[in-house]
Structure 1
Amino acid sequence: MIDFSIPADLAAERDRVRQFVIDKIVPYERDPRLTSHGPTDELRQELVELARAEKLLTVQAPVELGGRGLTHVEQAVLYEAAGWSTLGPVAMNCAAPDEGNMFLLSKVANPEQIDRYLMPVITGQQRSVFAMTEPGGAGSDPGQLSTSATFDGENFVVNGRKWLITGADGAKTWIIMARLEANPHLPEGPTLFLTEGDTPGIVIERTMNTMDRNYVGGHGVVRFENLTLPKESVLGETGQALRYAQLRLAPARLTHCMRWLGAAERAQSIAVEHARTRTAFGKPIGEHEGVSFLLADNEIALHQCRLTIWHACWLMDNGHKARHESSIAKSSVSEELFKVADRCVQVLGGIGISDETVVEMIFRDMRAFRLYDGPTEVHKWAIGRQVLRG
């Protein structure tokens, strides 16, 4: 039986999250600490305390680690509500990259690593990064990973360069992907390492100037210069980084979609209100078909995106990996929500390209979303291969 109803308690919590964001978080969208490189950590901490006071902090964490152990469908409902403001997920500690990193660490880290690296992120005390993408191509194709690690039986030494490392500036928990060279001690290949951000050998060259501004710390260019790590720093098993990355990426693709669905809804609500009150040629512009059709297309897209997300989440909640479906969701939802934001700009006219509303910021951030966790073309390539396999 297909049941699309939302349980009453979940619906009530969704409404509570949305109201919290509207009342407590939206006013911060004009805060000067929301910079071109994202919210400052000072602003993040202030927002986190607001969510903590409402018992809305890191609700997605496993129960044994202090969270509510939400299902993927429950996350979809609450993250959409949180995404009404791009600062909502930051406040509730369910924004990227921390949300995906927390998921990965909860699945792979050992008890000592959980205490040292995961729990401070869950409690909102510190941030994390996932350092994989490289200038030479290790992004969509992690097989091109060039950052190397050598092992002498006691210590690893990591050398290489990364970029577009979200949140690098100020993050404390670092997950680093490097290719472990052949050695007589451990299996070689792509490996994940855990360390602190202030470890000697981690050099943050600069923060890149990008079109989006919703991630704390922006996107950094990082260099590893003889970064020396003890053997206890390995996350999981050596040579298994690509498998662990897939473990992280499938849910992370969906949580991006959930949050941005909320932002697109916000843009639509602003466009609808404008269409009701702005007049042209003798009547509200929403009564002109050219505008009403744009709003109708948006409503159709929002509905389709929500159902696509929910279906993939339902599959995961029922034990399926849902890689195919999560790729479908990421590629289709990111493209459709960008169109929603674009149409909202069009409905708003001149003020749509100004900062008189948050729509222009949502539009810019939504364009970047089309590249997060793999561009549309990579997902379609994977989808096509699956279709051909039958």
Structure 2
Amino acid sequence: MEEATGAGTETGAGEAGAGAGPGGGLDSGLLRKRVVGFLREHVLPCEDVLDAGGPKADTVLRGVQEQARREGLWAVPLPVELGGQGLDLARYAAYAEAEGASDHGPAALGSAPLLDVLMLRRHGTPRVREEWLPRVVAGDLRTCYAMTEPGVPGTDPVATTTRADLRPDGSWRLTGRKWFTSGAAGADLVTVLARTDGASPDRDGLSLFVVPTTAPGFRVVRELPVLGASGAGGQWEIAFEGVRVPGDGLVGERGAALTVAGERLQLGRTLRCLRWLGQAQRAFDLMAARAVTRTGSRGPLASHQLVQAHVFESLLALRTARPLVHEAVALLAAGADAHVEVGLAKVAAARTLQQVVDAAIQVHGAAGLGPDTALPALLRTGRAARILDGPDELHITSVARRVLRGYA
């Protein structure tokens, strides 16, 4: 795919909230530049293969991951005691934006399982922590997280119909179906939300379980192409058909799923925002490079006022969204309440990605619609971003209600 080579002056603009690198031994700017260079050299040239999935994609990804290890960029934000480098959230933010320029960046650099690792380290049983977590951090096991169900609004988890029934021997029998589970077809472990007690709308009867995908009764039903496109790390529908889960597969306390899930929710949304900023920046760089290199009978595109308007509006969107996202990062890193800031950041980052990619496609013309740039894939991500992790409408109403309560 065609990529911008100049990386623009905007590429380094998102370093608020970053500090020293892994172990405190790297300058944040240097670390970010290393990540940008790593993606450009090792990940972006392989995107077509990685998008296609299959054995070839697995082989290529393993090779890229080995290169990340050799360059000291593997598992940077993951806990040190499990084999990561322990970079804290405040310092990870700029790194996350840079690695997020490609959907495959987090997997290539070993950051992808961060949310699952933090959840299972805190709430998993000793067997899960000792047997599986080091292998997840090492990249030997891949994880996914299954909450959303067909016919059940993803914003209403109390309506979950997947059930886990306690057996006399202390194990659980898990039955149900989930969909839009990212990366499920290639995962080794899945954390699944199920009802163990009561009925909807009871919030205290939901529990989480971690299940090996090799367990009898686990089945990948089908891939769910997003806006018509498939992808190796895409969305999947999965089924649990009487899966037996040992008692120590319970994550956290019985009935406490929403508490455990809530701990990861704000961080997960913020990480997505950072990665969406990275992808918006990538689209901006492509647009700017196209504007200055494409020349027609009326001169370079960059001399046209309407093209300049696309550049201006895209830059304005990026410069407006980025501080909102990093404000959310700073509050989360400080352990403060960030519900309003995360809601603002999520809507702003998703809108920015969609807006900037759309402008970049317009500047590219027909070339922006075809397979020679990353823009079609980025456009699909931008549109999906306004639904994933809660639709815009959810965040708009939630933030407004919280703000208005302060005026009551």
Q: TM-score, normalised by structure 2?
A: 0.87
- Corresponding residue SS for 2:186: coil
Cα deviation 1:8-65 (Å, max 9, x = unaligned): 711111111111111222221243x421799943333232222122121111112222
- Corresponding residue SS for 1:34: helix
After superposition, the Cα gap between the structure-2 partners of 1:383 and 1:27, relative to the gap in structure 1 and judged at 3 Å, is same
Question: Who is 1:90 aligned against?
Answer: 107
- Corresponding residue SS for 2:164: strand
Cα deviation 1:56-99 (Å, max 9, x = unaligned): 1111112222222222222210011112333222201223xx33
Mapped partners of 2:334, 2:228: distance in 1: 35
Between the two proteins, what is the percent identity of the paired residues? 33
Mapped partners of 1:190, 1:92: distance in 2: 33
Moved more, 78-87 or 16-25: 78-87
Unaligned 5+ segments in structure 1 are none
Deviation at 1:346? 0.7
* 1:147 maps onto 2:162 in alignment: yes
After superposition, the Cα gap between the structure-2 partners of 1:261 and 1:118, relative to the gap in structure 1 and judged at 3 Å, is same
Map residues 267-286 of structure 1 onto 2, 5 A cutoff.
267-286=283-302
1:176 to 167, 192, 196: 192
* 1:218 maps onto 2:231 in alignment: no
Cα deviation 1:118-138 (Å, max 9, x = unaligned): 222211112111111101215
Map residues 1-390 of structure 1 onto 2, 5 A cutoff.
4=16, 7=19, 9-31=27-49, 33-35=50-52, 40-95=57-112, 98-153=113-168, 154-181=170-197, 189-211=205-227, 216-390=232-406
Kept in 2, the 8 Å contact 1:37–1:215? The answer is no
Moved more, 149-158 or 227-236: 149-158
- Corresponding residue SS for 1:85: coil
Cα deviation 1:282-306 (Å, max 9, x = unaligned): 2211111101011011111112222
Moved more, 62-71 or 239-248: 62-71
Q: CA RMSD in A?
A: 2.4
After superposition, the Cα gap between the structure-2 partners of 1:80 and 1:328, relative to the gap in structure 1 and judged at 3 Å, is same
Unaligned 5+ segments in structure 2 are 1-14, 21-26
Kept in 1, the 8 Å contact 2:76–2:86? The answer is yes
Kept in 1, the 8 Å contact 2:121–2:133? The answer is yes
Mapped partners of 2:285, 2:123: distance in 1: 40
Residue-pair matches, total: 382
Cα deviation 1:245-266 (Å, max 9, x = unaligned): 1111110111111112111111
Equivalent residue letter for 1:263 = Q
Kept in 1, the 8 Å contact 2:217–2:243? The answer is yes
Mapped partners of 1:215, 1:334: distance in 2: 20
Mapped partners of 1:147, 1:93: distance in 2: 31
Mapped partners of 1:107, 1:215: distance in 2: 31
Cα deviation 1:96-120 (Å, max 9, x = unaligned): xx33222322332233211223222
Q: TM-score, normalised by structure 1?
A: 0.91
Deviation at 1:7? 4.3
Moved over 3 A (4+): 3-8, 36-43, 211-217
Moved more, 128-137 or 60-69: 60-69
Kept in 2, the 8 Å contact 1:138–1:146? The answer is no
- Corresponding residue SS for 1:60: coil
Deviation at 1:213? 6.3
Mapped partners of 1:36, 1:341: distance in 2: 24
After superposition, the Cα gap between the structure-2 partners of 1:6 and 1:128, relative to the gap in structure 1 and judged at 3 Å, is closer
